[in-house]
Amino acid sequence: MTALIWGGAVVTLLGVAGLMLCAAQSMKARTLPEDQARTLMGRVVAWNLAAVGVAILGLMGVVAGLLLR
């Protein structure tokens, strides 16, 4: 179960890194013209949702590993 806990932690950290990347892209969008900012933000929203999903899956792995321990 230790592998499940550590694997889930790694996956969670990947999701958090994705969220940080989304935040950086959102800050970049503030300096762009409106039409380009809308296009960029459309992609950022999709990546943000994926990053949150990855982080949730990782946390589920950690919790499952702790419960089965």
pLDDT digits (tens, 9 = 90+) for 20-56: 999 999 999 999 999 999 999 999 999 999 999 999 9
Asked if pLDDT for residue 69 goes beyond 90, the answer is no
CA distance 38 to 26: 10
- C-alpha dihedral over 23, 26, 27, 29, to 10 degrees? 160
- The answer to whether 48 and 19 are in contact (CB under 8 A) is yes
Spatial neighbors of 7 by CB under 8 A, at least 6 apart, are: 61
pLDDT at 6: 97
Q: Tokens 């969008």 — which residue? A: 29
